[in-house]
Amino acid sequence: MGVMLALVTTVLLGTLGGGLVTLSNTEAAIAANFRAGAEALYAAECGAEHVVYELQQSATWDGWLSGAAGSTLTDGTLTPTLPSNRVVSLMAMTSELQAESDAAAEWGPNNPRWRLAAHAPVSQFVAGGSGASTYVAVWVADDPSETDGDVWRDANGVVMLRARALGRGVASRSVELIVARHATGGAGTGVRILSWRVVR
């Protein structure tokens, strides 16, 4: 009887210990995924802000839309290898974004045509930081409320940006901005953010 009780107690304690180890591992994985997601979101926002700054320095945004101009934030490859050793295709990501936009097809000839404007690891434009292993891509498109029928020319001083960051593991976050030119007094111009949203 005593041996049986000891055996049952051992099995119960072993099961309880195994459950605690599993719970601990699960909580660690959840915490790591949360951190990777937060890093990716901050990186996407940082990439978007970098391009907004560069837009502010540009006399015209037509080149950004047509491909004649772009960001200094480029690493020279359209198939970067992420820290997780996963290779991604920026052209495929551009096609996916365009397909998503075309699926809405609410604006006819003014439907946005997304162009890859910036792409690089966060470490290329942010010194240090825990998000240094994150990769960022930023696309630009004409404002769809503009009704000139020319998606390669900015007629109203308003464009859209989509920034996507790929972080540790499969972490990925995107933000979308609508930005507009505005007079800052005298001959100067600035950029005003009209909307900023996290894209699910």
Cα(139)–Cα(90) distance, integer angstroms:
10
Residuewise pLDDT in 10s, the chain (200 residues): 667 777 767 766 667 666 666 656 555 545 555 576 688 899 999 999 999 999 998 888 999 999 898 898 899 899 998 877 889 999 999 999 999 988 877 777 888 899 999 999 988 876 655 445 789 999 999 987 887 888 888 888 999 999 999 988 778 999 999 999 886 665 556 889 999 999 97
- C-alpha span between 67 and 64 (Å, rounded): 5
Torsional sign, CA 65, 124, 192, 91: positive
pTM equals 0.80
The domain segmentation of the chain, as residue ranges, is 2-199
Taking each continuous run of H as one helix and of E as one strand, the counts in the chain are 3, 5
Q: What is the pLDDT of residue 190?
A: 84
| Cα–Cα distance, 165 to 135 (Å, whole number) | 5
